[in-house]
């Protein structure tokens, strides 16, 4: 009887949530251990003493919140094992593997010239169940290799055991992170299976076999839906032996040193061996495969792509799991006849998350059992509903049992399809080794006529009913957050099995409506956001609202003029020409601006304190459906020029003035509808998405969204029940051009600087008893630096600067090493654009703090700048790796570091 050794189950886990004020999760983790995950490749017959059971599948007990794959190569173990004796192998700290925060390791395991048949087993520790890593054969059949993913114990080790005394080698393919520390990028994205290399027909390379000692290089990035900057790929390598000798192949990034990794193939002319592997790519997306042994055979190679690992933190995160989803030997199943197919349900079975929950691909161990048969063959596996690919998933020889590791996407119904490409019936076993999961987008819909993007000049006269459908989130920690026309709705805890529906009603009448629905999962460290916009009305028919209404005091001798509407907002490309006069009829204007999209700040020296002035705007541009041009001239509004009473308190020429302050910690006396303990203004980085179309009352910031990588900081405050913090994101282009010296970047920087000054002044006026917090990433950090650097900061006035409690910057292009504001552990290089800011220009920002090890009487730097070593912009590391590092700040661990720093000033 043919048998396959079992993979042991382990306990399922989930996160537990609580609620305080806004939605605030309280995470309770299981102990740090995983079941062993094995991905098996074998080319030998299994004897009947290896007993099989079909255990239920389970998710591993703790995946961590990272699960990112980091490609790496090198030998971590090589020695002879005693029979049936567990040997501990140190994994962490070897080569470039970190000493902690490693959850699992991807290994190529090789048993060298085994003396007998047996099983190589593995486990994290003595406390956990063992599982089969590979089955090896004796009788001179040569080395046996396979891919195995093993969970790593808390002390950074794994344990292995061979049934007989054998020499075993373990070669690293990569590791998976265990939390959200942002050790490295590498989410997985499955692709439609495609053959990218065939030396027998000339696919991917010139038609030629590999003789002993030969190496071929071929392009992977930029082909078969793999991006040019992919960090690694999951592939299936098929070796066809064209001689009689056994040998091995070694894949590695082109241009790099060839590692010791051995993917072994047996001797025998025409014998085909399939081996799954995860291989890093070179900077230009190439891979090389070597047939290095001088005594090996000439071979042909096929390489079939299964998916790629991203160069960012996007893509599916790996969750290990165990369990059998198919065994055709077990009734009522039957062997798959030659040429036939079988659809197999994977999602929702044996612990695998249900369909629609974002499982993009599964890692399967596929075993083909062909006793007493004479013809060889192969099988392929693909997502149900997709076109059958011209690839190979497993090859099997006559009278053999073969196992291979495959990574395959799931169909929309959660199924995969197996086709048996031989003339004989074959039994198959499928064991789940894990899955890659991301969060699917929530879906937003509204009743007719309010489709996404709809606009009518005639006001909508009936209530609009909208619906948000959120997917299940398998970890049980999914949360749906909604923002409707700038108003936060109550968070909704999502099911892990079925979709969740939220109904929304929007009142009739003119105006712009914006719905943002985001689904987040802390265990997956992911947030996916969908937006929906519609509206009605014509801005030219609405009332124009001035920033300085008739009879107002300016509270500044350089006030900012801007306008809005009370109904339909201004359409894109609407411009205003502002005029300022000392006469009620507008005669003899003091100034008239060019037409502009932007608010206008009256230059210094034009206004005299105590004098009355008059202003208006000539507005022109397309209507809200862009079907006609509208022109509106506003009335003349009067205002009295008055001085900010606190403005003179800040020196205009000091480069090191200390702003010693003790933040307000009470909300007593707060004025305004959105004035909590503090308001956090996010200034996003270049090319990061802008926020909702709904702006704050002053028009300088988006009321929601637009946080970019700094969204992790917002999430940390949402989790914190101690503080009630409002968040908004600065309205500015965040543009970048091919050259940073181009006008695109400079104009964006100037726009952001102007708007941030306006936003700070408006916020301080609107919420005089609240603190102000600032956070900027990349270009956003530079914007903040320009505003806070002395002497420029003097234009804010003491009423503003005294309210700025804490500031965090990430990846600032104007970074200087050894400034007082630098975070511990930051890089030792200099920023690409630091010539644009004077060294030490923000060192004067200080305040009191509270917390462990902090003195409540000492003044601490209230600006902190984080710059990762090797960052493209803040360290001038102008390489693709530098770009990757620059994009790696958006992790929950970094968010918590910034959060903890900020709140120490709110306690201070």
Which residues fall within 8 angstroms of residue 40, CB to CB, at 6 or more apart? 132, 133, 134, 135, 146, 147, 148, 365, 367, 403, 404, 405
Which of the two residues, 705 and 474, has the higher pLDDT score?
705
Residues 84-119 have pLDDT tens digits of 999 999 999 887 788 877 877 888 888 888 888 777
The burial of 857, by beta-carbon neighbours within 10 Å (0-12 exposed, 13-18 middle, 19 or more buried), is given as exposed
Strand arrangement of the beta sheet that strand 443-446 belongs to: 443-446, 464-470, 500-506
Rounded to two decimals, what is the model's pTM?
Answer: 0.52
Which of the two residues, 213 and 319, has the higher pLDDT score?
213
Distance from C-alpha of 501 to C-alpha of 43, rounded to nearest angstrom: 50
Q: What is the pLDDT of residue 793?
A: 67
Q: What is the pLDDT of residue 523?
A: 64
Closest CA to 677 of 757, 764, 594, 771: 771
Q: What is the pLDDT of residue 413?
A: 93
Closest CA to 397 of 419, 371, 418: 371
Bond preceding residue 167 cis, omega within 30 of 0: no
Residues 413-470 have pLDDT tens digits of 999 999 999 888 899 988 887 788 777 789 999 999 999 999 999 999 999 999 999 9
Residues 5-41 have pLDDT tens digits of 222 222 222 222 222 222 222 222 222 222 223 322 3
Q: What is the pLDDT of residue 12?
A: 22
Residues 577-587 have pLDDT tens digits of 999 999 999 99
Which residues fall within 8 angstroms of residue 45, CB to CB, at 6 or more apart? 117, 137, 371, 399, 400, 401
Distance from C-alpha of 38 to C-alpha of 16, rounded to nearest angstrom: 29
Q: What is the pLDDT of residue 178?
A: 65
Residues 48-89 have pLDDT tens digits of 222 222 333 333 332 233 456 777 777 899 999 999 999 999
Tokens standing for 200?
């027998």
Phi, psi of 576 (to 5 degrees): -130, 145
Distance from C-alpha of 285 to C-alpha of 227, rounded to nearest angstrom: 8
Which of the two residues, 652 and 814, has the higher pLDDT score?
814
Residues 235-282 have pLDDT tens digits of 888 888 899 888 889 888 999 888 766 677 878 888 888 777 888 888
Q: What is the dihedral of CA 874, 877, 880, 884, to 10 degrees?
A: -30
Q: What is the pLDDT of residue 634?
A: 95
pLDDT level of residue 476 (50, 70, 90 thresholds): low
Of 627-636, 645-654, 750-759, 819-828, the range with the lowest mean pLDDT is 645-654
Is residue 674 pLDDT above 90, yes or no?
A: no
Residues 717-732 have pLDDT tens digits of 877 767 678 889 999 8
Is residue 649 pLDDT above 90, yes or no?
A: no
Whole-number Cα distances in Å, 231 to 94, 358, 435, 749: 21, 22, 19, 32
Residues 296-308 have pLDDT tens digits of 999 999 998 878 8
Quote the mean pLDDT of the chain: 79
Is residue 684 pLDDT above 80, yes or no?
A: yes
Closest CA to 679 of 774, 756, 758, 762: 774
Q: What is the pLDDT of residue 524?
A: 63
Is residue 3 pLDDT above 60, yes or no?
A: no
Distance from C-alpha of 601 to C-alpha of 590, rounded to nearest angstrom: 14
Q: What is the pLDDT of residue 7?
A: 26
Is residue 779 pLDDT above 90, yes or no?
A: yes
Highest mean pLDDT among 123-137, 150-164, 552-566, 615-629: 615-629
Q: What is the pLDDT of residue 362?
A: 87
Q: What is the pLDDT of residue 56?
A: 31
């Amino acid at each position: 009887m043919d048998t396959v050794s079992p993979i042991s189950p382990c306990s399922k886990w989930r996160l537990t949530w609580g609620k305080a004020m806004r939605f605030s999760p309280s995470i309770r983790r299981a102990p740090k251990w995983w079941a062993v995950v094995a991905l098996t490749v074998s080319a030998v017959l299994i004897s009947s003493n290896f007993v099989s059971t079909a255990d239920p599948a389970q998710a591993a007990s703790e995946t961590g919140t990272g699960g990112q794959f980091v490609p790496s190569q090198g030998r971590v173990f090589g020695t002879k094992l005693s029979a049936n004796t567990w040997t501990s192998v140190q994994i962490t700290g070897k080569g470039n593997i970190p000493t902690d925060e490693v959850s699992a390791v991807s290994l190529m395991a090789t048993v060298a010239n085994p003396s007998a048949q047996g099983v190589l087993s593995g486990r994290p520790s003595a406390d956990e169940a063992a599982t089969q890593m590979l089955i090896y054969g004796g009788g001179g059949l040569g080395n046996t290799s396979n891919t195995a993913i093993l969970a790593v114990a808390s002390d950074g080790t794994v344990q292995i055991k061979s049934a007989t005394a054998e020499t075993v080698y373990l070669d690293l393919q990569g590791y998976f992170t265990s939390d959200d520390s942002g050790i490295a990028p590498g989410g997985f994205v499955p692709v439609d299976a495609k053959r990218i290399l065939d030396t027998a027909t000339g696919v991917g390379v010139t038609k030629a076999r590999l003789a002993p000692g030969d190496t071929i290089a071929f392009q992977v990035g930029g082909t078969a839906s793999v991006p040019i900057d992919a960090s690694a790929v999951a592939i299936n390598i098929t070796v066809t032996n064209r001689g009689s000798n056994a040998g091995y192949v070694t894949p590695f990034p082109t241009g790099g040193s060839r590692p010791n990794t051995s993917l072994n193939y047996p001797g025998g002319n025409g014998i085909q061996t399939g081996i799954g592997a995860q291989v890093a790519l070179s900077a230009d997306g190439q891979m090389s495969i070597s047939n290095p042994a001088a005594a090996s055979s000439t071979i042909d190679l096929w390489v079939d792509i299964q998916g790629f690992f991203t160069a960012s933190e996007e893509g599916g995160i790996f969750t290990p799991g165990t369990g059998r989803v198919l065994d055709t030997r077990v009734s009522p199943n039957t062997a798959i006849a030659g040429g036939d197919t079988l659809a197999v349900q994977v999602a929702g079975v044996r612990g695998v998350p249900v369909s629609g929950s974002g499982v993009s691909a599964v890692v399967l161990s596929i075993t083909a059992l062909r006793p007493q048969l004479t013809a060889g063959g192969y099988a392929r596996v693909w997502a149900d509903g997709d076109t059958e690919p011209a690839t190979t998933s497993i090859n099997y020889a006559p009278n053999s049992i073969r196992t291979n590791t495959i990574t395959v996407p799931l169909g929309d119904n959660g199924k995969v399809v197996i086709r048996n490409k031989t003339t004989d019936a074959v039994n198959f076993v499928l064991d789940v080794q894990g899955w890659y999961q991301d969060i699917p987008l929530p879906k937003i819909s509204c009743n007719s006529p309010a489709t996404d993007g709809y606009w009518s000049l005639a006001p909508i006269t009936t209530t609009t009913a909208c619906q948000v459908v959120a997917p299940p989130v398998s970890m049980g920690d999914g949360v749906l957050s909604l923002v409707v026309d700038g108003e936060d709705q109550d968070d909704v805890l999502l099911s892990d099995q079925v979709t969740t529906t939220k109904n929304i009603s929007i009142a009739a009448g003119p105006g712009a409506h914006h719905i943002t629905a985001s689904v987040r999962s802390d265990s997956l460290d992911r947030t996916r956001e969908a937006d929906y916009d519609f509206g009605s009305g014509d801005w030219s028919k609405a009332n124009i609202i001035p920033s300085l209404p008739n009879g107002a005091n300016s509270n500044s001798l350089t006030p900012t003029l801007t306008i809005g509407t009370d109904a339909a907002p201004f359409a894109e490309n609407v411009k205003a020409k502002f005029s300022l006069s000392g006469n009620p009829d507008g005669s003899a204007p003091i100034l008239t601006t060019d037409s502009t999209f932007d608010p206008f700040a009256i230059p210094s020296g034009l206004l005299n304190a105590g004098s009355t002035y008059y202003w208006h705007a000539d507005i022109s541009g397309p209507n809200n459906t862009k079907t006609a041009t509208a022109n509106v001239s506003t009335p003349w509004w009067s205002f009295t020029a008055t001085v900010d009473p606190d403005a003179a308190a800040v020196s205009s020429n000091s480069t090191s003035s200390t702003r010693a302050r003790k933040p307000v910690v009470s909300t007593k006396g707060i004025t305004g509808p959105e004035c909590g303990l503090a308001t956090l203004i996010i200034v996003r980085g270049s090319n990061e998405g802008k926020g909702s179309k709904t702006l704050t009352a002053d028009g300088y910031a988006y009321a929601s969204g637009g946080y970019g990588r700094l969204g992790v900081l917002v999430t940390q405050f949402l989790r914190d029940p101690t503080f009630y913090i409002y968040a908004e994101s600065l309205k500015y282009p965040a543009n970048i051009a091919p050259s940073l010296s181009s006008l695109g970047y400079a104009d964006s920087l100037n726009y952001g600087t102007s708007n941030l000054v306006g936003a700070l002044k408006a916020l301080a006026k609107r919420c005089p008893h609240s603190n102000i917090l600032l956070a900027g990433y990349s270009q956003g950090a530079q914007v903040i630096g320009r505003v806070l650097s002395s002497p420029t900061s003097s234009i804010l006035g003491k009423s503003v600067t005294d309210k700025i409690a804490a500031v965090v910057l990430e990846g600032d292009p104007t970074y200087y090493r050894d400034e007082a504001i630098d975070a511990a552990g930051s890089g030792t290089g200099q920023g690409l654009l630091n010539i644009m800011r004077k060294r030490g220009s923000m060192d004067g920002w200080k305040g009191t703090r509270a917390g462990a090890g902090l003195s409540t009487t000492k003044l601490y730097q209230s600006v902190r700048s984080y710059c990762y070593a090797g960052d493209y912009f803040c360290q001038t590391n102008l390489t693709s790796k530098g770009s990757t590092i620059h994009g790696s700040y958006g992790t929950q661990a970094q968010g918590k570091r910034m959060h903890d720093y900020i709140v120490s000033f709110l306690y201070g």
